[in-house]
A and B are shown apart, each in its own frame.
Chain A
Amino acid sequence: MSEVTKKVDARGSFCPGPLMELIKAVKGSQVGDVIEVLSSDAGSAKDIPEWVKKMGHEMVYSEKEGDYWKIAVRKMK
């Protein structure tokens, strides 16, 4: 059910780079798609869930894997 439709590797990009990459990916996706973003920026790990909540999308997961975060978002509208 949470199959990743699109993957974005934004590791190495500073705040708000990973968020912007995610937003671009969400805009170019269909409702129901799951976008996974990889981020090494700690700020984005907090920012992305806020943006997702605010925009009415859905967090699928947010996990830390070593020195980066793996965050997946489902486009809801």
Chain B
Amino acid sequence: MEKYLKKEEGLMEQQAPKLSIILLSEELEKVHAAALVGSVAAMSGMEVNFFVTMNGLVPFLKESVASKNFKTGTVGKALVEKAQPFYELIENGKEMGNLKVYACALAMDVKGWKKEDLIDLFDDVIGVTAFFGISQGGMIITM
């Protein structure tokens, strides 16, 4: 049994040790899907990094979360009413796995946003070069 488990672990590591998600969109459906995929991946033993950039940062502003002001389509409206909020999913991923969230320095700068303007999920504000270093060798998906 022990041997079997070790083999399983090895397989898992080979499959996908690292997942990085570039989140560009402020559409709640995409943000929620990214949060869901990322948090479950982190809880399944993968290293997960979020790079939140451009309008993707908007739903993460304290102001947006406090007023529940999100850009929603048909499914998004129901998500706001019924589902666990996206930031709670990410929080769970951080608590129970290796999940980091980074904000894009460019988008923050042009809008004059500070890390304090964002909800308390972000590990750092970084540039593209730093993100490449962090995501190197893993899978990158864009949403």
Contact = CB atoms under 8 A, between A and B. Distances in A.
A59 to B, nearest CB: 14
B129 to A, nearest CB: 33
Contacts of B92: 20, 24
B43 A23 contact: yes
B44 interface: yes
Interface string B53-97: 000000000000000000000000000001110000100100010
Interface stretch (B5-13, B22-30, B118-126, B130-138): B5-13
A46 interface: no
Nearest to A51: B44
Highest count of chain A CB atoms <10 Å: which of B9, B43, B84, B89: B43
Interface string A32-75: 00000000000000010001011110000000000000000000
A47 B40 CA distance: 10
A54 B36 contact: no
Range of interface residues on chain A?
Answer: 10 to 19
B39 interface: yes
A20 B5 contact: no
Contact of A23 (B12, B82, B89, B96): B96
A54 B39 contact: no
Please report whether the interface of chain A is mostly helix, strand, loop or mixed according to DSSP. helix
Contact of A24 (B1, B8, B83, B96): B96
Contact of B5 (A15, A27, A47, A76): A76
Given A17-B84, A54-B8, 20 more contacts: A13-B84, A14-B82, A14-B83, A14-B84, A15-B36, A16-B36, A16-B39, A16-B89, A20-B39, A20-B43, A23-B43, A27-B96, A47-B40, A51-B43, A51-B44, A53-B8, A54-B12, A55-B45, A56-B8, A77-B5
Interface of A: 13-17, 19-20, 23-24, 27, 47, 51, 53-56, 76-77
16 contacts: A14-B83, A15-B36, A16-B36, A16-B39, A16-B40, A16-B89, A19-B40, A20-B39, A20-B43, A20-B92, A24-B96, A51-B43, A51-B44, A54-B45, A55-B45, A56-B5
